[in-house]
Structure 1
Amino acid sequence: MKRFSRIFVVFFASIYSYGIFANLTSPEQYFPSYQADKHLRFDQIANYLNYVDKSTAKSKLIQFGWSEEGRPLYLLAVSSKKNIENLDEIRIRHEQLSNPYATRLNSHNLPVIVWLSFASHGDEPSGAHAAIKIIHYLLSNNQPEVNNWLNNSVLLFEVVANPDGFDQYANWVSGFYSDYPSSHAQHAKNTQKWPKSRGNHYWFDLNRDWLPQTQAESKARVLEYHKWKPNVLADFHEMQSNQSYFFQPGVKARINPLTPEQNIDLTKDLSNYTARAFDQASKLYYSEENFDDFYIGKGSTYPDLQGGLGILLEQAQSQGQQIQTQNGLLTFAQSVENQMTGITSMIRAANAKRKALIDFQQDFFRNNITLAQKDKVSGYLVQSQYDEHSLEQFLQLMSAHQIKVYPLEQDYQANDQLVFYKNTSYWIPLQQAQYRLIKSIFSRQTEFNDHTFYDVTNWNIALAYGLQHYSIEGRFFGVKAHEQPWDINRHAKTLQKTTNLTENAAGYLLDWRNGKNRFALSEILRNNIKVRVAKAQFKGVTPNGSKSFPAGSVLILRADNTKQAVTQFKNLVSQYNLRAHNLTTAHTPDGPDLGSDKVQLIELPKVATLAAPWVSQSEIGEFWYWLDKKIKLPLTMLADTRHTKWPLNDFTHLYLADGQYQNLTTQQIDQIKTWVDQGGTLIVTKRAAIWASQQQLIKNDYLSERDLSSPFKQNYDYANKESFYSEMRISGTVFKGAIDPTHPLGFGRTTPLVHLFRNDRVVLLETSTPFADVALYDNDPLTAGYVSPENINHIKNTVALTHHKVGSGRVIAFSDNPLFRGYWFDTAKMLTNSLFFAELID
């Protein structure tokens, strides 16, 4: 492997030899056992960044957060000594560019800010290894061009954006390190063991989490991003080994329509520098193909709606030390070398276009105000009368994205059937700096010029959170909003006030419509507090008179619980800031009394799932995250051991995510069936639901692949076959349906309307079994995003959620993933009900 080290040394010497100082130790010197084809761990890279920070006045290490597993999240700022000394002043001055009402700044003396991000996918390490070499080059060089870069730019190196996944991958490939490595594509190193290291601790794709911000890393990253609002964010990734090197722009027809034309032009200008650099190095590359720039929740697209440029760069993956590809042998050293070429080209381009980039960002936010003034929609009203938790989560997310939201000070009658109440409603005006981002978040666009999407086609946050929302056309007359925008420190406490629980109450009630109560129930049950759930609506007697409560209300009765249990319940109410109702008697003026069999005891779920290479890792991760971070339940992941009997009797629920369940053996299938028949609850989603139908565990038929494909006619030329397959695919679209809110799986909903996110073509048909199908797609289901007319015909009036009794147990089937990317709360409620309330279904 010495020859690979020599290749890199020759490259480094030939390109970067001029003016190198010896005062800063290089990565090759810093790591005693360094080899060009070896993978560094995160702690090694972190040590080097700390060393650099302490060794030169031209850098500053900024820790802006922690990963889920407790690793630090770093930015290393690299610039001239003067700029580093005045870094806070530069950042604050740069903030003015995003204030449309601030005095216009002269861009002549402002440095351009460039954020360089690497390894947001843990198994894409070449960019991080290239970054530390470039950092050393920049800080050890007296070349005029480099000095000019440092004087006129602040370079923010996010060397490892996903430390947890990065370390997992480094340990994996290092375990296969060889002096004489194999380059065969079928070598075991190229097939990571499950779970793979692309995602973070919960197996989430951090590059898709910029908008929903479900993960700790994303929340910290976006907060830091808005402190800087870089003019350029270059996002370095890896792709299939048989590719070469890609850089944006992508396919022009697939750019988000809210992206300004000048952004597109500047992206092209910058990419010309990258093309020139690769030409000069005689390296293969391509652009304006394959990748789009549509979903704004990616690192290379989010900046496009922040007055910056997001630019994606993708290097073919060498899969450890080396791999044989259709372009020849690809080594890790070569991958790193190519990423270095990409990094330097981005730095060179941003400096060359510095003034244009700064002026563009300043104009961007000013133009947003002008566009808002011309828009026929003046803003959006949002409310949730009962689910204060989802509303609070929404407000926090808007605040994180610097979107100003104003509480209403009086009720607003939107139409004959819709009132927005001042205590639970908020006004989001379009006339603010984040105009384009707001338009994107509330988009219901369903028609597009190009129907090929690299990712999802819609991401309406209000729909995802299950919030009522309403667009106001024209000027916003008829209601007064607060002068000050919502702020978590100023307004959060008004959303939720703990009830004073009385000593002489017969019991206490938690409204299941409120997410805080849903997320606290497991803690209540875990503390040996007896809990009942009302299976029907009733009127309860409170100290303030009779009050109606819906089916699904959670009851803690003194008759069921010891004094110690009641005291513990009160402590939990205070700890979780819950709103509980005092009930003075178990006798109800209307509906079942609280001692009726229609008010049933429930138990703490014990949940397992199958963890196998043929099961969707990301969807298992979403389920794990939901249980761990939201509803506070442990999840046991059962390995796919073909010769070991699963201890299913230890669990009440088994969750099967999307996967290829034909891989189960006959013995495994029989074991699952026996467990269900004896009282277990099986929850299946997507292709697991198809498997359940095939095994006659549910009585719903389904559309076969032949059924799904037959309406699509091959009236495309071979050159346009991608368009043909795009029409067949559902990339990620929002549909509407209806669920029965009186059914235990529908508890906690105020209306039958439900918005479902679908990115697959699993279609379940209605069953003849009465009351089995709980949620159905609408006859006109498309709400937001793109789907072909043929697929709409497949989906309309089909089943979204069904339930079937099997012996003493039950099977609950979802045709979609109810936990899409961990933020689709509207359907997550149904899954939560499946865990807590399945035993209530008669």
Structure 2
Amino acid sequence: MRLIFLILVIVITNVTAQTKTDLNYYLPQNTTYNQNIPTPESVIRHHVGEWHITHDKLVHYMYALANASDRITIEDRGHTFEDRPLLLLTITSPENQANIDTIRDKHITATNNSTVNNSNMPIVVYQGFSIHGNEASGSNAALLLAYYLAAAESSEVKNLLNNTVVLLDPSLNPDGLQRFAYWANTNKSKNLNPDPNDREYREAWPGGRTNHYWFDMNRDWLPVQLPESRARIASFHKWLPNILTDHHEMGTNSTFFFQPGIPSRTHPLTPKLNQKLTKRIGDFHAKAFDKIGSLYYTEENFDDFYYGKGSTFPDINGSIGILFEQGSSRGHIQESDNGILTFPFTIRNQFTAALSTLEAAETMREDILQYQHDFYKNARTEAAKQNGKAIVFGDEKDAAKAYHLAEILERQNITIHNIKNDFSVNGKQFKKGNSFIVPKNQKNTRLIDAMFEKRTKFQDSLFYDVSAWTFPLAFNLDYAENVSTSNVGDKIENLKPKSGHITGKSNYAYLIEWHEYYTPKALNQILSSGLRAKVAMKQFNLNGTDYDYGTILIPVQNQNKSSDKLYDFLQNIAKENHIAINTANTGLTQGIDLGSSQFRALTLPKIALLVGDGIRSYDAGEIWHLLDQRYDILVTKLDTKSLNRKDLSRYNTIIMPSGSLAADGTKKIKTWVENGGTLIGYRSALNWLNKNEFIKIDFKKMEHTAEDISFEQRSDYRGAQVIGGAIFEAKQDRSHPINFGYKNDKISLFRNNTMFMKADKQSYNNPIRYTKNPLLSGYISKPNLDSLSLSVPFKTKKLKAGRVIAFTDNTNFRAFWYGTNKLLMNAIFFREEL
């Protein structure tokens, strides 16, 4: 009887869920709505929640609203990798719209001047939706929010818009949203099926969460490497909103989460008042959810530590960031522990949270404006104490890495300068043109601290994301804190990369040192053109210039270009890649001569990247992005599903990101390696390599015994053994080809796994090895640190005619770990010499 009743409930709920949900289900009914404002249905041709909104329809509707309403202006701030627009709607009263520039100027002035009275100013709220494309209830709720703010005629809404400027970002990840909407809509049945086994709820790889290159967009607020991030960070600093909301989804069996998160996991640089205000705002959410009967929770699961997330980035910039997480239907209707979960229900919850945020913002307006005012006032006081001090960073051999870090700082509204003259600190040389200096006495001094700090002690041992992101370490740059501002040169108003050049025309040879970041791109262009090039396995000196390991030699004779055309070609290469190409008019040097066998011939890499089922999409996307966007290197994405049908002889290099292959794919790859191919494996792929005898790896076995840990504490105990993301020091053998292009004998490595490879007995087989006390920044448990000490992150071994290369650590993390990108490039270009 009970089973029959349950089936009846499901059937009734299913039928009900298929009824078209009109606006009355979502919108407050205590107001009238302007009939001249188009409803979502009138433009997108379906009810909100009936189908997943596609990005093109979302854009169409937002423009329709802006054209119809004097409360809305719309801005196209750029485009995604797939050329979709990045929209921002400014929504406020018509009177405010007429004075919007003045309002913004006054708002920014209040953060610069302690005497400004901000009690009569509007509060600014940035509301962003669905930064993860398959967390789609957010962007669908944006349709409702934009319509409500444009059309509602109640005095409450009019007062709200008089006192508030809403910056509405309807889709923080257009490419991912479009990908997911296509999946959900094309797999939707007329008879909605809540069975979680249905194909609708199991996206094809890589899913809609990520952007075009499969990046998690909600980790890029601080590094700002992707076009979507650059647009929203520019908007953020243009306005410095008082509140920023970030609408997400989580597992289907969850309810609804709003911040604050776990108190002990808030970053120490975040003011305590920030969390108190967040909690007060939470009271408005609770009241709103109580009214509609939706379950929710707070102060669990999520934290406010990593400043690269949308809900935490505002906290170090004088704003209040708020995370919303809604249990996801992942399609149109799905069974859950809380009953049948419908897509319209998830949308209504997101819309409810958006409205309660605006109610809180208006009610708490003066307190929150004062908080931001005081945040910057206190920051100025802190900065004044640092007057005369600065941070310098650079690389005397590599201007490009320093430039790209300066680029990030510029995007974050941090003032940077050139250095006045060359100088040294603690044995590190800072060269003019290759270095930048950041005075600490400036407005965003707290943000500077957050980006440059090294932290190894924490209140809590669990982290939702990474525990360290020290930027100069990520870029493998020399840097020094608290240097004198007497070294400060011209303020940089328009940052430009260093110019490349060629020293002259030669009829003998040209030399390119391998230190500069873009030398791999240059070498690829040279080899792709059919030119011959060689790499120096040893150091040498020519005409008073010291040339390091990895110097590239391009002979003039026996090339497919005349000496004149070769010179013109290399001139363009130097300029495009911002590198120096030196002329060599003789082969006689101090050290190895240019005709020595210690110059090894190079061949053009023909690269395949394994993608698809079994492969971690984040890792694959980072490699794809690096090769495609940074280095313009052609890469074939080989899907694991069709691997057996592909001719692998077309490639000399295959990259295996974190993951594993089925038996048939494994056999095919192994045969290819044995016949002369080079296989580069990352992270968990090392387990697969070891198990299938591509390479023998001796892992340190980890055993954690819990003592005096209660049942309640077991989850936290296990979590404390995770390396969520920290930075460690390793020693490099610079004579080994995997380390060519590095001028120091120490490197900073990012690590977020517990794979510890034992070092080889032969020291020369350990070209990269963690130091005895390797922790530079971040959290790691004592047992894990002991295991990491003196272990190795890299191994390579011949397999018959081929070679296997293994990395335990991600050399391309989130596109901003510039400092280790060259390890992968060395593995690719110097594969035959490893």
TM-score category of the 2 structures, normalised to the smaller one: over 0.9
CA contact (8 A) 1:714 1:724 kept: no
1:509 matched to 2:496? The reply is no
Deviation by residue 1:416-464 (Cα, 9 ceiling, x = unmatched): x334344433322222111111111111111111111000000011000
Aligned position for 1:268? 279
Aligned partner of 2:608: which letter? Answer: A
CA contact (8 A) 1:531 1:601 kept: yes
CA contact (8 A) 2:284 2:357 kept: yes
CA contact (8 A) 2:38 2:68 kept: no
Aligned position for 2:103? 90
Aligned position for 1:743? 736
Distance 1:26 1:645 in 2: 50
- Any residues of structure 2 matched to 1:657-696 within 5 Å, and which? 657-659=657-659, 661=660, 663-665=661-663, 667-696=664-693
Shift of 1:540: 2.0
Q: Does the C-alpha gap of structure 1 residues 824 and 629 become closer, same or farther in structure 2, counting only changes over 3 Å?
A: same
1:328 matched to 2:339? The reply is yes
Shift of 1:746: 0.5
Distance 2:537 2:299 in 1: 57
- Greater shift, 756-765 or 631-640, is seen at 631-640
Deviation by residue 1:182-226 (Cα, 9 ceiling, x = unmatched): 101211111110121100000001110111122111122211211
Q: Secondary structure at the match of 1:15?
A: coil
Aligned position for 1:127? 138
Shift of 1:373: 4.0
- Greater shift, 613-622 or 772-781, is seen at 772-781
CA contact (8 A) 2:318 2:376 kept: yes
Shift of 1:8: 4.3
Distance 1:187 1:202 in 2: 27
Aligned position for 1:480? 487
Aligned position for 1:448? 458
Deviation by residue 1:657-712 (Cα, 9 ceiling, x = unmatched): 111x2x421x4333222221221111011111222223332233113xxx21x134
Which of 544, 547, 550 lines up with 1:549 in the alignment? 547
Distance 1:478 1:90 in 2: 35
TM-score where L is the length of structure 1: 0.94
Aligned position for 1:232? 243
- Any residues of structure 2 matched to 1:27-426 within 5 Å, and which? 27-34=40-47, 36-99=49-112, 102=113, 104-374=115-385, 378-415=389-426, 417-426=427-436
Deviation by residue 1:805-839 (Cα, 9 ceiling, x = unmatched): 22222111111111111221222111110011111
Distance 1:4 1:678 in 2: 58
Q: Secondary structure at the match of 1:60?
A: strand
Q: Does the C-alpha gap of structure 1 residues 411 and 14 become closer, same or farther in structure 2, counting only changes over 3 Å?
A: closer
Deviation by residue 1:71-127 (Cα, 9 ceiling, x = unmatched): 00001111101111222222222221332xx36322122111111000110101111
Deviation by residue 1:779-824 (Cα, 9 ceiling, x = unmatched): 1111100000010011111111111122222111111111111221
- Any residues of structure 2 matched to 1:611-630 within 5 Å, and which? 611-630=611-630
Aligned position for 1:825? 818
Shift of 1:501: 2.6
Q: Secondary structure at the match of 2:381?
A: helix
Shift of 1:571: 2.6
1:647 matched to 2:647? The reply is yes
TM-score where L is the length of structure 2: 0.95
**Identical counterparts, % of pairs:** 31
Q: Secondary structure at the match of 2:280?
A: helix
- Any residues of structure 2 matched to 1:634-783 within 5 Å, and which? 634-641=634-641, 644-659=644-659, 661=660, 663-665=661-663, 667-703=664-700, 707-708=701-702, 710-768=703-761, 771-783=764-776
Q: Does the C-alpha gap of structure 1 residues 96 and 547 become closer, same or farther in structure 2, counting only changes over 3 Å?
A: same
Q: Does the C-alpha gap of structure 1 residues 808 and 176 become closer, same or farther in structure 2, counting only changes over 3 Å?
A: same
Aligned position for 2:536? 534
Distance 2:408 2:162 in 1: 36
- Greater shift, 326-335 or 396-405, is seen at 396-405
Q: Does the C-alpha gap of structure 1 residues 88 and 524 become closer, same or farther in structure 2, counting only changes over 3 Å?
A: farther
Distance 1:221 1:10 in 2: 30
Shift of 1:376: 11
Q: Secondary structure at the match of 2:138?
A: helix
Q: Does the C-alpha gap of structure 1 residues 644 and 162 become closer, same or farther in structure 2, counting only changes over 3 Å?
A: same
Aligned partner of 1:141: which letter? Answer: A
Deviation by residue 1:106-164 (Cα, 9 ceiling, x = unmatched): 21221111110001101011111111112111211221110011111111110011110
- Any residues of structure 2 matched to 1:799-814 within 5 Å, and which? 799-814=792-807
Shift of 1:301: 0.7
Q: Does the C-alpha gap of structure 1 residues 31 and 652 become closer, same or farther in structure 2, counting only changes over 3 Å?
A: same
Aligned partner of 1:261: which letter? Answer: K
- Greater shift, 397-406 or 562-571, is seen at 562-571
CA contact (8 A) 1:79 1:153 kept: yes
Distance 1:232 1:97 in 2: 16
Q: Secondary structure at the match of 1:799?
A: coil
Aligned position for 2:6? none
Shift of 1:642: 6.8
CA contact (8 A) 2:92 2:165 kept: yes
Distance 1:386 1:524 in 2: 21
Distance 2:686 2:23 in 1: 57
Q: Does the C-alpha gap of structure 1 residues 537 and 437 become closer, same or farther in structure 2, counting only changes over 3 Å?
A: same
Q: Secondary structure at the match of 1:488?
A: coil
Shift of 1:14: 7.3
Q: Does the C-alpha gap of structure 1 residues 340 and 583 become closer, same or farther in structure 2, counting only changes over 3 Å?
A: same
Aligned position for 1:466? 476
Which of 429, 440, 443 lines up with 2:439 in the alignment? 429
Distance 2:486 2:120 in 1: 45
Distance 1:388 1:60 in 2: 41
Q: Does the C-alpha gap of structure 1 residues 719 and 376 become closer, same or farther in structure 2, counting only changes over 3 Å?
A: farther
Q: Does the C-alpha gap of structure 1 residues 452 and 43 become closer, same or farther in structure 2, counting only changes over 3 Å?
A: same
Distance 1:500 1:610 in 2: 41
CA contact (8 A) 2:27 2:148 kept: no
Distance 2:736 2:636 in 1: 28
Aligned partner of 2:698: which letter? Answer: D
Aligned partner of 2:480: which letter? Answer: Y
Q: Secondary structure at the match of 2:288?
A: helix
Which of 555, 558, 561 lines up with 2:556 in the alignment? 558
Supply the RMSD in Å over aligned alpha carbons: 2.0
- Any residues of structure 2 matched to 1:483-502 within 5 Å, and which? 484-489=490-495, 492=496, 495-502=498-505
Shift of 1:2: 7.7
Distance 1:113 1:121 in 2: 24
Aligned partner of 1:679: which letter? Answer: G
Deviation by residue 1:349-404 (Cα, 9 ceiling, x = unmatched): 11111112222112211211212345699432212101100011011111111111
Q: Which runs of 5+ in 2 are unaligned?
A: 1-13
CA contact (8 A) 1:120 1:207 kept: yes
Deviation by residue 1:745-797 (Cα, 9 ceiling, x = unmatched): 10001111011101111111122356332211111111100000010011111
CA contact (8 A) 2:811 2:820 kept: yes
Q: Secondary structure at the match of 2:487?
A: coil
Distance 2:398 2:456 in 1: 28
Distance 1:594 1:14 in 2: 77
Q: Does the C-alpha gap of structure 1 residues 75 and 623 become closer, same or farther in structure 2, counting only changes over 3 Å?
A: same
Q: Secondary structure at the match of 1:675?
A: helix
- Greater shift, 779-788 or 639-648, is seen at 639-648
Shift of 1:597: 1.6
Aligned partner of 1:636: which letter? Answer: T
Aligned residues: 818
CA contact (8 A) 1:204 1:821 kept: yes
